[in-house]
Structures are given as C-alpha cells and as structure tokens.
Amino acid sequence: MQNSEKEKAILVGCGPKRNEWELLSTLEELGRLAETSAAEVIGQAVQFRDRLDPAWLIGKGKAEEVAKMAEEREADLVIFDHELSPAQIRNLERLLPCKVIDRTQLILDIFAQRAQTKEGRIQVELAQLEYMLPRLAGRGKELSRLGGGIGTRGPGEKKLETDRRHIHRQIRDLKKQLEEVKKHRRLHSERRKKNEVVQVALVGYTNAGKSTLLNRLTGAEVLAENKLFATLDPTSRMLELPSGQQVILTDTVGFIRNLPHHLVAAFRSTLEQVREADLLLHVVDAAHPEAAEQIAAVEKVLEELQATDIPTLMVLNKADLLDGQGIEPDGREIVRISALREEDLDKLKRKIENLLHSKPMTVHLKIPIERGDLLSALHRMAEVVSAKANDAFMEIECRLTDKQLEKLPSELKQQVT
C-alpha cells in the first residue's frame, strides 16, 4: 500500500444509553485519531448496551450489521473504541471482511509514526509488544496479511510471528535499554539540580497548543500541527524571563482520555521529566467544548505520575477564540492567553516568574571578581537587580525567595543576615 493512499475506516462505539453524550464524544475523538493515522472515516456504528458482550463486544447481531456495512462500503478496517480481548478479536476477525483494530492499537500506530528519537522508538516498540503478546492467539488472519497499513507499523509482522519466548526476550531487552536511558537522564537531572537550573514543564491534552507555545516563547522550531499527537518526543529549550533569569522549558507528550496504560508504562521514563519540574504549565484549549473533560483527563495522568504536589499554573490557551469568559477552574492558579499574541506571552512570562519567585526578598552580596562560578549560579537561580564592579568584588543586589536562599552556595548564604 502506498503511503499516499488512505485506508477507509468504520468506527464502532459501545456503551450505556445514559452515557450517550460521552460515547459520541469519544467516538468523534476516535475519528480524529483515525485521520491523524492517515485513515478516511467512511462510517460509524453505535451500540447502546449496559454490559459489553464478552464474545463480540457489541453483540453478534450488531457485529453482523457492521460486517455488512464494511462489505458494502469496501472498508479496509474497522476501529473499535474499546480495548478488545483476544476472544473478541478472534470472533470479529472471522466475521468482518477487513482488518480489526481497537483504540489502543490505533494510538500505538500513531506513536509508531511520530516517534523520532531512539528512546521514543524503543518505548513505542515496548508498548506494542506488551499489548500484542496476550493477543497473539487471536491474530492469525492479521499476521497473514502482507499489505501493512494502520495497526501493523512499529515492531512489525516479523516480530509478531515469532514465538512468545522470543517476544518476552525482546521485551526484556527493550526494558534494559530504557533503564540505561533512564540512568543517563538521571545523571543529567542531578547535574541540573546541582547547578540550580530551574525546570518548567508543559503538560496538557493533545492538541491544546503546547508546541505552539514552546515555539512562541523560546523561538524553537517544533512541529505544531492541528493534529492529535503531532509531536511525541519531548523537547527542551531555554526560556528567558523578564528579569533575565533563564529556565529550561520542556514540552511533553500530550495526554488523552483513556490513554492506554501500555503507553503510560512504556513512556514513564520520559514522563518522569514532569515529576522533576519546579513548575508545571497545564496548557488547556479553553475554546474546546470539552475543555473541562480534557482537564480532568490530564489531572488523572498527573495523579498516576505522582506529580500533583508540583506547583501548577493552568494556561487557558486560545482565549482569542472565546466569545465570553469560558471555563472557570475553581481553586486553580490560572492565566488566560492566546499563544499568538505577544502581549499575552509577556503576561505569561511574568506569571511564571511570580510563581517561581513567590515572596522574594532583596539581598546584597559581594562576590570576588575571580569567582565567576558563583556569579553564574546566582544569575541562574535569582533575579539580579543590579551589579557593580570594583577592584576586588562584584557588588550584587538580587531578589530571592526563601527556597532559593536555602540553595545558595554557602559562601553567599553566610552574607545574608
């Protein structure tokens, strides 16, 4: 299959009638995920039922309807908005005239396309293998296909056709490689902490505008598309605040409702950057009709990452698209901006600075001219108001919070009364 050709997909959702709005909403999101993976949505089917059918998910009668629709519309694949069990995959593949995948496999496919770094590719391959391992028994028909396409990228058919023992070995090897990457990242992290480099992490629902914000704040050239998971690998850039202090700003992978636990587990080493941050910027598409639900989904993942105790600023982005005030998140520190407006970016930088420097005090320090290392450390962690040189010393006036004061090198801390 040529990359330029789009696979024709039918979407299938299932859930209780009382949750109709949520069901249709997640199905719409599934459609956007399918389009991100270069599929063309040609139809959808919804089955309202209180309990999912253990054999067919949607019931055999509805499955037969979907099979007929797929045949009439010449669909290439049917995508289910639920994670399918091995038995459900086996039954549906026998009935349907085309490929069968679920929401998890679709997201894994997108990640396989988007991962650029070695670490990202390892994480995707690990997540795919762990997802596929218990389902090998039910993938007979799919494994015989040589056409490729959505759901077959990443580790590929050649790995899935090997025996379970080999796949277990592959998983162990990938985990070992990730552990090495994690060790390397930990060393970098310890070095940054030693140098008192402040870290700010962008988190948020996919397509909320994180990459655009990173580009606008730092002059980075990160891909920013109107697609889900347009960027996958984390990117860090230096951000200069109004006071001249420099901080590291990191863009992380976007979150999503029902983010597959395989991905959260595989990307844990990358997502640990969130836990190391001094401040989180939770970027929200304030103009999205389901902004509140997206906020809840992000906060759920942050809770899973044990990052809820990190100071967080909620950045209500795309404010230029709002007619009124939009959502009002209670009890949260918020700022309303448009990443496209320069004055809003300045407002955001000042807000970041205020949160990083809560209740600052003004102190006067003397640093020997030859101690450039102390001067550099001070510039990294504090707001330097003025600096005057004489023959032997630099006389510095700066603003520090209590927390920053505690981290001052001992030679400087002794000067503060």
Q: Which of 347, 306, 312, 124 shows the shortest CA–CA distance to 216? A: 347
Q: What is the pLDDT tens value at each position of the chain, 417 positions in all?
A: 444 578 999 999 999 998 888 889 889 989 989 998 889 999 999 999 999 999 999 999 999 999 999 999 999 999 999 989 989 999 999 999 999 999 988 988 888 887 777 777 888 888 888 887 877 654 544 444 444 566 666 555 454 455 678 888 889 999 998 888 778 777 776 666 666 678 899 998 888 888 889 889 988 775 555 556 655 566 788 999 998 888 889 887 778 777 766 677 666 656 767 887 889 999 999 888 888 888 988 888 888 777 887 889 999 998 887 766 667 766 678 899 998 899 999 999 999 988 887 656 778 888 888 888 888 888 877 778 888 888 888 888 887 776 677 777 888 887 875
- DSSP states along 216-249: HHH-------SSTTS--S-EEEEEE-TTS-EEEE
H or E stretch covering 210:
helix 210-218
SS (H, E, C) 21-78: HHHHHHHHHHHHHHHHCCEEEEEEEEEECCCCECCCECCHHHHHHHHHHHHHCCCCEE
What pLDDT, on the 0 to 100 scale, is given for residue 253? 73
pTM of the model: 0.69
Distance CA(373)–CA(389), nearest Å, equals 16
Distance CA(41)–CA(31), nearest Å, equals 7
